[in-house]
Structure 1
Amino acid sequence: MRTGVKMWRWRRNPLRRSTDRVEAWAVLISGLVLVVGAPVVGVATGMTVAASGPRPPADWHRVSAVLTQKAPAPSTPSEVNNSNYEQVKAVVQWQAADGSSHRGFTWVRPNSAAGSRTTIWLDDAGMLREDPVQEVQTQSRALALGTAAATGTAALAVGAYALVRVRLSKRNASQVEREWGVIGPEWRRHSL
């Protein structure tokens, strides 16, 4: 049943029941959790997941490398590196700290032009390593888990409110039944 008076659950009223007050608080709390809590939980979860992503070992460092020839287009799905989306193996050349020139295979974007620069990872021994920080995967994972956390928080708020409403409805029905047990016989006497 709707009423035309706004905020009636919060106003003083002789007809207001204790369940009306409880329902008003349930609406307020679940609304705050939906509007403020769910986004905060989602963002906090996403940021935590992103911050706890893979990190390179302490003895690895980035070096700029040059493609020695045009990178191939992936001809089969097996040539695509699943951890680095849409990348193919190509020959790159880089300068070591001592000035010596080195070559090796690494993952690059398909069809990259010869002479274009890319970043590679080397360990302290100068060995070429795969990129340990896959930003696309880390960001995707953070977004997915943040969204799941926000959705879960919102579902909890809605579920808790629904549970409160069911309990209050049962309580109201039992109160009406008790009151009718007292008032009902009085009405029957007047109708005869």
Structure 2
Amino acid sequence: MRTSRKFWRWRRNPLKRGTDRAEAWAVLISGLLLVVGAPLAGVATGMSVAASGPRLPADWYSVSAVLTQKAPAPAPADEVSRSDQVRATVEWRTADGSRRRGLAWVMPNTPAGRHTIVWLDGTDRIRDSPHRGLQMRALAFGTLAATGTAALATAGFVLVHVRLARRRESQWDREWREVGPKWRPHRT
């Protein structure tokens, strides 16, 4: 019958030392930090950054607008534009039912008739989305927090493993100094 190697760190064994138990706990804790702690740290940080963003003015609101014509191709790098969007003409209905037109940021080459969300102020003028920069910042800080937590968990495990290996070696040296002379053949 073959023995399983899956949970060898947790099996009972009369030869298992305290350093082996400590290393088993270090593996478990660092694994939990990597699998559960890092994602939680990233999500919590991202949500915190998003929640701490600037508040919208009270008269701003979002509406669904329709592109009236196909959006242009991406602008050359030397022109003033956003890196991933172009301006295109959109049409929307105001609260009183009248139609309005204006320029909004959309993805390049978006076909006419496609719906997009635009932000309007109290005078029904198009404003830049207040969430655009905030979402990217929240994603960046969340990623950094998750990566940092994973790095700390890994570095902590490596530090514990190295210290336990040194302790194990010193214990083996000490025990060998006691037992070694008994095993040597006596010379007469």
TM-score of the two chains, using structure 2 as the length reference? 0.71
Distance 1:27 1:156 in 2: 14
- Using a 3 Å threshold, how does the CA distance of structure 1 residues 67 and 42 change in structure 2: closer, same or farther? closer
- Using a 3 Å threshold, how does the CA distance of structure 1 residues 121 and 191 change in structure 2: closer, same or farther? same
Contact 2:120–2:126 (8 Å) recurs in 1: yes
Per the alignment, residue 120 of structure 2 pairs with 122
Distance 1:5 1:64 in 2: 60
Of residues 174, 178, 182 in structure 2, which corresponds to 1:182?
178
Distance 2:4 2:93 in 1: 77
Per the alignment, residue 81 of structure 2 pairs with 80
TM-score of the two chains, using structure 1 as the length reference? 0.69
- Identity across aligned pairs (percent)? 59
Per the alignment, residue 28 of structure 1 pairs with 28
Partner SS, residue 191 of structure 1: coil
- Amino acid paired to 1:44: A
Per the alignment, residue 59 of structure 2 pairs with 59
Question: What's the offset of the Cα at 1:59?
Answer: 2.1
Q: List runs of 5+ in structure 1 lacking aligned partners.
A: none
Deviates more, 1:171-180 or 1:51-60: 51-60
| CA RMSD across the alignment | 3.5
**What pairs up with 1:94-105 in 2 under 5 angstroms?**
97=95, 104-105=102-103
- Using a 3 Å threshold, how does the CA distance of structure 1 residues 180 and 80 change in structure 2: closer, same or farther? same
Q: List runs of 5+ in structure 2 lacking aligned partners.
A: none
Matched, 1:134 2:129: no
Contact 2:91–2:100 (8 Å) recurs in 1: yes
What is the number of residues matched between the two proteins? 183
Deviation digits for residues 122-150 of structure 1 (CA, Å, limit 9, x no counterpart)? 32244442222228x71x44444433333
